[in-house]
A and B are shown apart, each in its own frame.
Chain A
Amino acid sequence: MLEIRGLQAKAADKLILRGIDLKIRAGEVHAIMGPNGSGKSTLAQILAGRETYEVTAGEVIFEGKNLLELSAEERAREGVFMAFQYPVEIPGVSNIYFLRAALNAVRKHRGLQELDVVDFTAVVREKIQLLGMTEALLERSVNEGFSGGEKKRNEILQMAVLEPKLAILDETDSGLDIDALKAVAAAVNAMRSPERAIVLVTHYQRLLDYVTPDFVHVMAEGRIVRSGDKQLALELERQGYAWLEGEVAPVSRGWS
Chain B
Amino acid sequence: MSTAIDEIENLTRQEYKYGFVTVIETDSVAPGLNEDVIRAISARKREPDWLLEWRLKAYRQWLTMKEPTWANVKYPPIDYQSIVYYSAPKSLNDRPKSLEEVDPELIRTYERLGIPLREQQLLAGVAVDAVFDSVSVATTFKEKLAALGVIFCSFSEAVREHPELVRRYLGTVVPYSDNFFAALNSAVFSDGSFCYVPRGVRCPMELSTYFRINARDTGQFERTLIIADEGACVSYLEGCTAPIRDSNQLHAAVVELIAHDDAVIKYSTVQNWYPGDKQGRGGIYNFVTKRGKCLGRNSRISWTQLETGSAITWKYPSCLLIGDGSVGEFYSVAVTNNCQQADTGTKMIHIGRNTRSTIVSKGISAGHGQNSYRGMVKIQKSAEGARNLSQCDSLLIGNECGAHTFPYLEVKNSSAQVEHEASVSRIGEDQIFYCRQRGLSAEDAVSMIISGFTRQVVRELPLEFAVEAQRLLSVSLEGSVG
Q: Which positions in A face B, CB cutoff 8 Å?
A: 48-52, 71-73, 75-77, 81-82, 84, 87-93, 98, 101-103, 105-106, 109, 141-142, 158, 162
Contact = CB atoms under 8 A, between A and B. Distances in A.
Contact of B436 (A49, A87, A89, A162): A49
Interface stretch (B22-30, B212-220, B437-445): B437-445
Given A72-B433, A92-B453, A141-B452, A51 B440 contact: no
A77 B440 CA distance: 9
Contacts of B2: 51-52
7 contacts: A49-B436, A50-B433, A84-B437, A90-B431, A90-B434, A91-B452, A109-B439
B279 interface: no
Nearest to B440: A105
A81 B448 CA distance: 20
7 residue pairs, one from A and one from B, having the closest CB atoms: A92-B452, A93-B452, A105-B439, A102-B438, A76-B439, A88-B434, A72-B436
A90 B449 contact: yes
B396 to A, nearest CB: 14
A150 to B, nearest CB: 16
A105 B4 CA distance: 18
A51 B448 contact: no
A72 B444 contact: no
B439 A51 contact: no
Nearest to B448: A93
Contacts of B435: 90, 98, 102
Contact of B456 (A50, A77, A92): A92
Contact of B439 (A87, A88, A89, A102): A102
Interface bin, chain B: 20 to 34
Given A72-B436, A76-B436, A142-B452, 7 more contacts: A48-B437, A90-B435, A90-B449, A92-B451, A92-B454, A93-B452, A158-B438
B434 A106 contact: no
B436 A73 contact: yes
A106 B431 CA distance: 19
A76 B437 contact: yes
B434 A73 contact: no
A233 B453 CA distance: 44
A98 B439 contact: no
A163 to B, nearest CB: 12
Nearest to A102: B438
B172 to A, nearest CB: 39
A77 B3 contact: no
B455 interface: yes
Contacts of B448: 90, 93, 98, 101
Contacts of A158: 438
Interface string B1-31: 0111000000000000000000000000000
Nearest to A72: B436
Nearest to B442: A73
